[in-house]
Amino acid sequence: MGHHHHDHHHHELKLSEVNRALVFGIVLNIIFVILEAITGFWFDSLALLSDAGHNFSDVIALVMALAAFKVLSIQPTKEYTYGYRKTTIWAALINALLLLVAVVMILWKSVDRWLNPVEVDGLTTALIAAVGIIINGLTAWLFVKDKDKDLNIKGAYLHMLADTLVSVGVVFSGLMIWQTGWYWVDTLASWVIVIMILLSTWSLLKDSIRLSLDGVPKEIDSSKLSEQILNIKGVISMHHTHIWALSTAENAMTAHLVIDKACSFDDAVTIKKDIRHLLQHENIQHVTLELEKEGEQCLEKDCKIISEQEIHHHH
């Protein structure tokens, strides 16, 4: 049994690996920002300087993701009984908003460029951007395997991927300008990049808003879950069910269960254990279950109605 157990928990994050990846990404990107800024000043290239600014916003995004994971390890206190886990959700939301700000800035700059074309040293720009492809691409690759397990990693991944695309665009337009002298290619490339960034940011924004409003995390199918719970021997119905995210990595659930009145105390313990086991596989770590014997369940009318509906619905 023990062995079979582990392959189920494949969606759990290895925080030490993630932290290493983030630190590595931060250091690499800081070096790149400095390189771009120096070259930008040297060649008087607005494109390089603004890209340095954009890459610096990535460094901030990576630092925020790292800080959010560090916060996960802070112990709960009397005042903050869940610790500060929720900040990981805010970090993801702020990251999505930062990506949108980057989009607005790129658009603003590109319109200005379109109206007032600037001579660009195509080759130098392309060379620096090629370094950017390597650095951003490598950083993005560090997060690929975990990007669907955690919104903050997804945020970091999207920032780096967006940047890799920006760099590809800059290399392409730089070489094109170098060969043809068509300076407008610079603007066109930035518009294509903006569309790509927007498409990828949308899901991050949607998911982080959903979690900050205590919605059921996207990867959890609540109706399938209640069906599985109602299939457990002795469980008659379930009501007052709430599923929400404590952090981008951990979920919680509370529910009232009505159990068969023939159930003994030991049966009840077994039922709880089975449900916890089931929920563990669905990545729900914090479970609070209130058991009620059939016929003794809560007297509130609404509560009764919900249980009746659920009974009819499932049987």
| pLDDT one-digit tens code per residue, 134-156 | 988 998 998 888 888 888 888 88
Distance CA 243, CA 102 (A): 34
**Are 117 and 204 part of one and the same domain?**
yes
> Is 100 inside any structural domain?
yes
Token couple for 188: 């066109």
Q: What is the mean pLDDT of the chain?
A: 81
pLDDT in tens, 82-116: 888 888 888 888 888 888 887 888 788 778 877 87
Same structural domain for residues 173 and 273? Answer: no
Residue 217, in any domain of the structure: no
Assign 305 a pLDDT band (cuts: 50, 70, 90).
Answer: very low
Burial class (CB within 10 angstroms; exposed 0-12, middle 13-18, buried 19+) of 179: exposed
Same domain, 135 and 39: yes
By residue range, what is the domain housing residue 179?
A: 2-212
Q: What is the pLDDT of residue 47?
A: 67
Specify the number of domains making up the chain. Answer: 2
- Mean pLDDT confidence for 276-305: 76
Sign of CA dihedral 250, 253, 259, 264: positive
**For the ranges 6-10, 148-152, 229-233, which has the lowest average pLDDT?**
6-10
Pure H helices in the chain: 2-8, 15-43, 46-72, 87-115, 122-143, 151-180, 185-212, 222-230, 265-281, 301-314
**Is pLDDT of 303 > 70?**
no
Residue found under tokens 């996960």: 72
161/307 same-domain check: no
Residue 243 belongs to domain with CATH number: 3.30.70.1350
The verdict on 207 and 112 lying in the same domain is: yes
The pLDDT value recorded for residue 7 is: 40
pLDDT band at 46 (very low <50, low <70, confident <90, very high): low
Question: Which of residues 134 and 265 earns the better pLDDT score?
Answer: 134
pLDDT band at 249 (very low <50, low <70, confident <90, very high): confident
